[in-house]
């Protein structure tokens, strides 16, 4: 089943994201986490490609496990900056042979030791989308940035590039994490005005430790609102309190999104099934309403 077909259903969908292990020794631990998350009945589970593509070899294995063993829709991430065109084509062919129908097409981070762009690599995610479409009937997702992409100085340019990417054949979008829902609503208004009509899944990151917040800010450059900073200042030194506060903050974001008509929400779980379960428990009756 394709994710776009699920997103078109008139009901609330909550999906999860997990990342592959950094080493082969950690594979079983990730599988255990995925198995626990599957019990929560997510709409789908996405599997990242790993920083610089370094853990990409396990992406297809985990996505296949989710689909075939857990009977949950899986979404395999695919980045192109860290791999040659031939390597990318090999991955697409492998995903197709495994029966994985859903791919999230990303440019990805540029490896420090790589000359980019060059003729051997796809330069933009839009080029990767067009390449994926050559291989058959995949459902293709892509990323978007409510606060603007760090490489684009003006948000108008960011939306223009996003429109080009969507027009290349993207079926749905997933946002980078954000912590102020007004940023998301403003972003939706502007992209709809620009003619981008595909479903957009807001990406919610439960921040459960001070170190996680610092890492998230380094990776995404996201802005933390004063309300969240106050939570961090008050509870950041207590791991148990910060975990509870972070789960509550993410839950509150999701409830606000649902109350404002958003039906599809993606949670960046950081491979923590207990955090995913706590959020789903907080939403158990809300999702039914």
Backbone angles phi, psi at 134, to 5 degrees: -70, -20
Is 90 noted as a catalytic residue in this protein?
no
- DSSP 3-state helix, strand, coil percentages of the chain (rounded to 5)? 50, 15, 40
Q: What is the CA radius of gyration of the chain?
A: 18
Helix or strand (DSSP H, E) at 78: strand 74-79
Q: 102: exposed, middle or buried (C-beta count within 10 Å: 0-12, 13-18, 19+)?
A: buried
3-state SS, one letter per residue, for 22-65: CCHHHHHHHHHHHHHHHCCCCCCEEECCCHHHCCCHHHHHHHHH
Token reading at 171: 């079926």
List 17, 101, 127, 147, catalytic entry: 17
Token reading at 249: 């903050």
In whole angstroms, what is the distance from residue 268 CA to residue 202 CA?
10
Q: 119: exposed, middle or buried (C-beta count within 10 Å: 0-12, 13-18, 19+)?
A: exposed
Farthest CA pair distance, the chain: 52
Q: Closest Cα to residue 158, out of 149, 146, 168, 170?
A: 149
State the number of CA atoms in the 13 A half-sphere of 105 facing the CB: 28
In whole angstroms, what is the distance from residue 181 CA to residue 171 CA?
23
Residues labelled as active-site residues: 17
């Amino acid at each position: 089943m394709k994710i776009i077909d699920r997103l078109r259903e008139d009901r609330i969908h909550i999906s999860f994201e997990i990342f592959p292990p950094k080493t082969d020794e950690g594979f079983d631990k990730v599988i255990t986490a995925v198995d626990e998350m599957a019990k929560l009945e997510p709409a789908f589970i996405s599997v990242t490609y790993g920083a610089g593509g370094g853990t990409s070899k396990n992406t297809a294995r985990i996505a296949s496990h989710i689909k075939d063993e857990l009977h949950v829709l899986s979404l395999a991430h695919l980045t192109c900056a860290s791999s040659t065109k031939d390597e990318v084509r090999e991955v697409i062919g492998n995903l197709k042979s495994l029966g994985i129908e859903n791919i999230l097409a990303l440019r990805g981070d540029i490896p420090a030791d790589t000359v980019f762009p060059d003729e051997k690599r796809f330069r933009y995610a839009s080029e990767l989308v067009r390449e994926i479409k050559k291989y058959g009937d995949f459902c293709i997702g892509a990323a978007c940035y409510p606060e603007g992409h760090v490489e684009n100085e003006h948000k108008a340019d960011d939306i223009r590039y996003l429109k080009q990417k969507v027009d290349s054949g993207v079926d749905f979008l997933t946002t980078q994490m954000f912590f102020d829902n007004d940023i998301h609503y403003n972003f939706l208004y502007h992209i709809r005005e620009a003619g981008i009509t595909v479903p957009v899944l807001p990406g919610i990151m439960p921040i459960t430790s001070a170190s996680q917040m610092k890492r998230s800010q380094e990776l995404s450059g996201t802005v933390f609102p004063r309300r969240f900073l106050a939570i961090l200042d008050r509870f950041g030194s207590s791991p148990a309190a910060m975990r509870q506060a972070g789960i509550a903050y993410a839950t509150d974001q999701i409830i606000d999104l649902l109350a404002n008509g958003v039906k599809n929400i993606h949670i960046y779980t950081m491979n923590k099934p207990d955090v995913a379960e706590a959020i789903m428990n907080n939403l158990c009756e809300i999702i039914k309403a």
